[in-house]
Amino acid sequence: MASKLEQLRAMTVVVADTGDIEAVRRLKPQDCTTNPTLILKAVQDPASGPILEEALAWARRQSGPREALVARVCDRLSVAFGAELTRIVPGRVSTEVDADLSFDTGATVAKAREIVALYEAQGIQRERILIKIASTWEGIQAAAVLQREGIDCNLTLLFHLVQAAACADAGAFLISPFVGRILDWHVKAGGGPYTPDTDPGVESVRGIYAYYKAHGIPTVVMGASFRNAGEIEALAGCDRLTISPALLDELAAADGPLPRRLSPGGGAPAPARLALDEAAFRFQLNEDPMAGEKLAEGIRGFVKDLRTLRGLVGKRLAEAQAA
């Protein structure tokens, strides 16, 4: 019998959630997603030394304020890792807009355009890239602008149906509803014990999937942020699942049948299509403590890692210029 990973690939597009280039070569996913945390980890890997050195060499030929230069180097690093990943995976690579722009629609649009331009300068067309944006109201409105320009977006840090509904209204190409972080919140709040089928993160993705399919919404649902293989198996059949290398390895080593759990037209009836404006979006998100807290926490976490990355780049750039 085929491994559970191979069975999963027969019904779901498998995506690697990593910036580890060697892991992607080994695991052969269809797509790959990155974020500031994964880029920071990748930059600190000695194997990534040449990519960092190339970006620093470019910076030494530039002029301008140090802070702006460091930010541009970080953009080049994200695109450099993404470009390398596009040479390995046959599908798309997600590259994230700076998390500290999550509440600024105009700045998010501008940064996304810069990222796409950096890719296109390397001969990588926008059809190979997804611009990853936090699912704030402002981020979703930025995605609406970008989608009209032919720049496909991946809306991340998504914890609630209202976020998914607004992303659908914006015409987002793909959403990344989180599973494990929802589970974390409920366990910390005293919930459980949970099985994969009663896992609140799994239930959230199932509900969003059912809503999209019931209303003929073409936006891709890609479950993300898994804590264990059971959560992944409980979402078998979802459009896409982005999975860490460790869990991909676990699924590759597991045998036994893996039944399809999600399919268009299956599951419980979905609610009527939501009619949302900014006030309704913010109110409904505010009504769910888990969603509001995890969205804010996720943005803070990515901003922290982005600042750490900028600090590392700034230090290395200062050392190189002083040499």
pLDDT of residue 259: 97
Would the pLDDT of 263 be above 90? Answer: yes
How far is C-alpha 239 from the chain's CA centre? 15
Residues of the chain with pLDDT > 90, as a percent, come to: 79
pLDDT(68) > 90: no
Check residue 122 and give its pLDDT: 93
Question: Do residues 30 and 91 make contact, with C-beta atoms less than 8 angstroms apart?
Answer: yes
**pLDDT range class, residue 266, cuts 50, 70, 90:** confident
CA angle 142/244/190 to nearest 5° reads: 85
- pLDDT score recorded for residue 290: 98
Q: What does the alpha-carbon distance between residue 311 and residue 108 come to, in Å, rounded to a whole number?
A: 22
Decide if pLDDT at 245 tops 90: yes
Here the CATH number for the domain that contains residue 258 is: 3.20.20.70
The Cα 47–Cα 56 span in angstroms is 16
pTM (2 d.p.): 0.94
- How confident is the model at residue 57, as a pLDDT? 85
Count of domains for the chain: 1
Model confidence over 200-228: pLDDT tens digits?
999 999 999 999 999 999 999 999 999 99
pLDDT the model gives residue 323 = 64
Single out the residue of 228, 223, 249, 225 nearest to residue 27, CA to CA: 249
Q: Which residues contact 31 (CB under 8 A, 6 or more apart)?
A: 13, 15, 16, 89, 91, 92, 93, 94, 240, 242
Chain-centre distance for alpha carbon 177: 9
pLDDT at 288 over 70: yes
Give residue for tokens 């750039």: 317
Summary mean pLDDT of the chain: 94
In this predicted structure, the answer to whether residue 268 has a pLDDT above a threshold of 80 is: no
Predicted confidence (pLDDT) per residue in 15-26, tens digit:
999 888 889 999
| Known catalytic residue at 132 | yes
Please pick, among 111, 132, 213, 294, the residue that the annotation labels catalytic.
132
Does residue 1 surpass a pLDDT of 80?
no
- State the sign of the Cα–Cα–Cα–Cα dihedral 313, 314, 317, 318: negative
Q: CA 84 to CA 105: how far, in whole Å?
A: 29
C-beta of residue 152 within 8 angstroms of C-beta of residue 173: yes
Give the percent of the chain with pLDDT over 70.
99
Mean pLDDT, residues 45-60: 85
Question: By residue range, what is the domain housing residue 188?
Answer: 4-322
Does position 47 have pLDDT exceeding 90, yes or no?
no
The mean pLDDT of 128-142, rounded to a whole number, is 98
Note the helical H segments in the chain: 4-9, 21-27, 36-43, 49-60, 66-86, 105-121, 137-148, 161-169, 180-188, 200-214, 229-234, 245-253, 278-286, 289-322
The tens digit of pLDDT for each residue in 147-169 reads: 999 999 999 999 999 999 999 99
